[in-house]
Amino acid sequence: MDGFAATAGPGLSGALMIGAAAAKGLAIGFRKPYLGINHLEGHLLSPFFDDAAGIRPAIGLVVSGGHTLLFELTGFRVYRRLGGTLDDAAGEAFDKVAKLLGLPYPGGPEVDRRAKDGNPGAFDFPRSLPPRDNFDFSFSGLKTAVRYLLPKIDLTKEQTVADVCASFQRAVVDVLVTKTLAAVAAHGQRCVAVSGGVSMNSELRATFQRECETRGLEVRLASGALCTDNAAMIGFVGLHALRAGLATPLGEDINPNLRLV
């Protein structure tokens, strides 16, 4: 054992304190380094977890229930934040729309499942796409559009629910892919790295693969086991930190609102 890593933030303070305390105790007991890892960095680098070529320059999209963020990464710990959500995260929008439709939680997988039987062109939902040099996201308007539509349609029909799911999902995917590829073009990168719980969405993965192949870009999609929150991605970042000769002071506290950059 060469070191002990734990998530230092962002996240729920109780969970963070337990993990950090355990890792610090082990680090002291074994006289090894302690590494406090940023949860978002774990997601950002998870697409490279099983890549023999290692971490390399890319535009990274971290899309989850709590975050929708775009980064430019040029190496380990060399990141630049390009944009983020101005309101709801994409995963939050999935969950809220699923709740409006009476679907079980978590809503993302359920919407994805229902959308496979739906018509993505059945309803014309808005896409929030600011100018090409703006890489921020907004999904509250899309969520509101769904809410205003529902009283006008018959949700007792399974096909109608499937059509709403497919149309909503297509709108979210269009925004995520369009903004990410615009960032790729603006910053001259040739690799796209996608991670976070929402990156398990089947249409999002298929669309990124298709659009990147069309443009001659490499796309790295985090494997299913690494999309949702997991310890492996934190250990992966900890490994790279150790190789870089880094360690976290034992007196450094957790930060529930920790930012990556």
Number of domains present in the structure of the chain: 2
Q: What is the pLDDT of residues 143-179, one digit of tens each?
A: 999 999 999 999 999 999 999 999 999 999 999 999 9
Shared-domain flag, residues 149 and 211: yes
Q: In this structure, which long-range contacts are made by residues 239-246, counting pairs with CB atoms below 8 Å and at least 24 apart in sequence?
A: 240/45, 240/55, 240/76, 241/5, 241/35, 241/37, 241/77, 242/2, 242/3, 242/33, 242/35, 244/76, 244/77, 246/35
Shared-domain flag, residues 128 and 94: yes
Compute the distance between CA of residue 229 and CA of residue 67 in angstroms, rounded to an integer. Answer: 12
Predicted TM-score of the model (pTM):
0.95
Query: What CATH number did the domain enclosing 248 receive?
Result: 3.30.420.40
Shared-domain flag, residues 237 and 115: no
Asked if 115 contacts 166 with a C-beta cutoff of 8 angstroms, the reply is yes
Shared-domain flag, residues 83 and 206: yes
Shared-domain flag, residues 250 and 199: no
Asked if 221 contacts 198 with a C-beta cutoff of 8 angstroms, the reply is no
Q: Considering the chain, what is the average pLDDT of its residues?
A: 96
Tell the residue number behind the tokens 């007196």, with chain if given. 251
Domain range spanning residue 14? 1-50+226-261
pLDDT of residue 130: 67
Shared-domain flag, residues 41 and 65: no
Shared-domain flag, residues 75 and 184: yes
What is the rounded average pLDDT of the residues 58-71? Answer: 96
Shared-domain flag, residues 200 and 254: no
Compute the distance between CA of residue 29 and CA of residue 34 in angstroms, rounded to an integer. Answer: 11
Shared-domain flag, residues 205 and 240: no
Shared-domain flag, residues 100 and 45: no
Q: Look at residue 43 and give its three-state secondary structure.
A: helix
Residue 227: pLDDT over 80:
yes
